[in-house]
Structure 1
């Protein structure tokens, strides 16, 4: 038997197996990197941050001032980008070059708030979210005086049902047998759930008034077209839909206004609600909304026992509707309320289902964007970072016009990250980060097709007022609003080392954003409720920039009219602007 050749000693992991190419994340993990950009295969698969070291002229990787490898790619000069061939370079103008490559928002590096705390495991995420809901609901049981027992909201006290019939008796109509189809889920109703006259009125209000708010950036209108169809087969989703509809109607101070908002004949039982209100001087819609909200939690406490339910589109739709309910229920500040905490719980569920802004499932994708829109406002008001840790993978040039409207939502989230209170930061790094975001905004704006241009702009505004601007469809107008909101957020938070020329440039950009925001708000302030939910955010940001009393008063009037339409947030937002103006030197 021939002697075996001595085996070549394996290099230690500290030396021979250390990779010197690839992204920094793979190098730290000591795994093979395929070096794809903007995200390599390993990072894309594990949903990790993917960053590459900077390269100097001689190709060597640079390090930061602390001696560690740089964690972000440098901002590319405008118009300088590598294309696939000289022919491609010749066919594209310099002004459009940067739009074809890695837009800066794809590599902007600010660790979101969500990374500062440990994340629950995917299997436990729905339970952790529910525990947040139940904890706050139990604390408020006595205040609402609804007769709910605390034990009915505690999932830990709910025994695992021995039979499916114990889960939810409302799921099956009386006298009908349960289907034996293997695809049937016990937490779904095989038959359409019957609606009372009251519930039918709330159902109409949701479809006609609230769903368009949720669907503003979604051309397929999943919350209007699909969610109601799912709701009539799922008690939990149905109760959350009725809860948010009743809660919004409670915000309408005039009950006649609430009836008109239905756009249908008001059921007789709604008249009885009005009579009760006049006698007892309380808001019946608020009581009904709270009742539906607690019934939703009761359903969740029992049906979270089904793994298929925790991964379903029904639970993520329910979570978004509950969050919208809590948005209407929130007061001026959010750090001490349930809405802000529960947004974090929805983040956990989104992560557990692998939902993001590019998910193939349309409803899951729409729910993700709606959740981000809500989190952007809370993060902005609380001076914190947004919760998402996802990054887009598609280039601007590959997006459709409708997808460009959601991309600006993502860039806006990164700008709100930038505005978060930072106790310590390097001024040069801070300036560079702001420049990257401004470049990302500029890239997005320059690649917009002509359909985003105004179809009407009045040429002779009154002195001191704004020029009305009409952009159609409303989602495109809202995207332009968010663009200018995001640009203002960056400009007022970015340090400056420049002189008068830099000051003049910033002031010109701020003035342009204010004029556009207010011009669009003038045209969309009528009864366009979905647009108003973007207008109030943009108008508030515009108010942070105006300095003359005439324009301050004009912004204040626009914002007040918009808040009168949305009924959210409270009009304390007007007082915040006034205090801000008084505090200015």
Structure 2
């Protein structure tokens, strides 16, 4: 475990050094001789100013040092003219001249009314996104508590909260968002195992990068996926047999990373960054949120299988059995307590769930079934229909893969917008991105677009990318989206 701490903290520093390399290099250019820009070198070696052997996918220098070998394009970050020495001294002249209070003294920074408002906005409106599968509400409780004493989580919280407010209610908050994002990146770059040698600190780093992942999505029209790659170096090296069933900030960070990875994979139709094969499914579920975490692992395995290669009959049967075993063990409270096929004259069904985590669990079951549907033989379609709700009349109607996929897509959209909870809707964008491609009725498509655009105003999520992708899919024959209904 100690080796994991050293390795992953070094790797997260490397990815974030690359993300801010433009500023770091420019700020030193006046004191150093100019160097030729070698595009074949990895960003990690470039920022550390060492020679890269250009090996792919990981150069030898990064491999030996156990650092993240980053090859993403560096992007401009907030330029803070304060030196590292000055930044560590809150009372310095440089710090006092900054446009916002530095996070190096969290309690002092929070005395600023605007900063206090950002902090409270995170707790009240954003933390529930991250506590969707956590009965302890770690991101709403323990993470803010840690932020009262530590600059890293505070800067991540303020960056995300400010950028969210800039998209929903206060455009002027964008400057604060960029300021604290820049601070958070630098703090992560400087983080070492010697600085934080305990599990909570490891969790704070992972949780902070998970927040930066949402910052990244909210602040840019095109998803660059930089911080999700950075979080991988912290999440992928966990001990799967001992760590993930635990509680605390690190476990909460892992489950959030997994859900963010799932969302990205469903958007891009690509495998996860993390390999879940060695991670066994939990056999104990103390809370309903634990059952959501279990189906997250199942969906992750199905994604890796379906987007990596051709799914064999044996692999399909194994994945189907794993999903069916989980579904059959659910308490009855996980089922919708009410369902209307076309609610209030709308084109999407109304599906009422008892709790937000139940809605998210149903979403993951539906998208898992849809993925299996796209790789099912005709002989397997009755098995898929059995995964639909037992009291669902459509379970016996769909006779083709497209019929089943469209039925599942309607339910995915219905659950998201009937629940009408930001945490559920943010988590539903991945399932909607993959499943809604199979909607064939124009009224359902139009209602989905209308409701997604409404989310942009209320949640701040850049859903225009999702809408554009769906509209492009709808312009091509839907029959190509399945295995031609063999």
Structure 2: segments with no counterpart, 5+ residues: 27-74, 92-102, 384-397, 479-486
| Contact 2:12-2:234 at 8 Å conserved across structures | yes
Picking from 470, 479, 484, the partner of 1:577 is 470
Seen in structure 2, the aligned counterparts of structure 1 residues 568 and 363 have a Cα distance that, compared at 3 Å, is same
* 1:59-90: CA deviation from partner (whole Å, max 9, x where unpaired): xxxxxxxxxxxxxxxxxxxxxxxxxxxxxxxx
Structure 1 residues 182-581: aligned runs within 5 Å: 194-252=110-168, 254-255=169-170, 283-304=171-192, 306-309=194-197, 311=199, 312=201, 313-334=203-224, 337-348=225-236, 351=238, 356-358=243-245, 360-390=246-276, 391-393=278-280, 396=283, 400-422=287-309, 425=310, 430-458=312-340, 461=343, 465-492=347-374, 494=375, 496=377, 498=379, 504=399, 506-525=401-420, 528-581=421-474
| Contact 2:231-2:257 at 8 Å conserved across structures | yes
CA drift at 1:552 = 2.5
What is the distance in 2 between the residues matched to 1:320 and 1:354? Answer: 22
What is the distance in 2 between the residues matched to 1:315 and 1:221? Answer: 18
Q: Could you say what secondary structure the match of 1:434 adopts?
A: helix
Seen in structure 2, the aligned counterparts of structure 1 residues 140 and 532 have a Cα distance that, compared at 3 Å, is farther
* 1:356-406: CA deviation from partner (whole Å, max 9, x where unpaired): 431x23222111100111111122233332133344445557564331111
What is the distance in 2 between the residues matched to 1:496 and 1:319? Answer: 41
* 1:534-553: CA deviation from partner (whole Å, max 9, x where unpaired): 23223333311122223322
What is the distance in 1 between the residues matched to 2:463 and 2:242? Answer: 31
CA drift at 1:333 = 4.3
- CA RMSD in angstroms comes to 3.6
What is the distance in 2 between the residues matched to 1:392 and 1:145? Answer: 36
Seen in structure 2, the aligned counterparts of structure 1 residues 458 and 481 have a Cα distance that, compared at 3 Å, is same
CA drift at 1:204 = 0.8
Q: Could you say what secondary structure the match of 2:438 adopts?
A: coil
| Contact 2:455-2:463 at 8 Å conserved across structures | no
Q: Could you say what secondary structure the match of 2:347 adopts?
A: coil
Q: Which has the higher helix share?
A: 2
What is the distance in 1 between the residues matched to 2:282 and 2:187? Answer: 42
Seen in structure 2, the aligned counterparts of structure 1 residues 460 and 325 have a Cα distance that, compared at 3 Å, is closer
What is the distance in 2 between the residues matched to 1:395 and 1:227? Answer: 25
Q: Could you say what secondary structure the match of 1:124 adopts?
A: helix
Seen in structure 2, the aligned counterparts of structure 1 residues 230 and 369 have a Cα distance that, compared at 3 Å, is same
CA drift at 1:290 = 1.1
What is the distance in 2 between the residues matched to 1:200 and 1:398? Answer: 37
CA drift at 1:121 = 6.4
Scaled by the length of structure 1, what TM-score is found? Answer: 0.61
Q: If you compute each CA radius of gyration, which structure gives the higher value, 1 or 2?
A: 1
* 1:267-303: CA deviation from partner (whole Å, max 9, x where unpaired): xxxxxxxxxxxxxxxx432221111111123333445
What is the distance in 2 between the residues matched to 1:233 and 1:125? Answer: 23
Scaled by the length of structure 2, what TM-score is found? Answer: 0.72
Question: How many corresponding residue pairs?
Answer: 402
| Contact 1:222-1:366 at 8 Å conserved across structures | yes
Seen in structure 2, the aligned counterparts of structure 1 residues 149 and 379 have a Cα distance that, compared at 3 Å, is farther
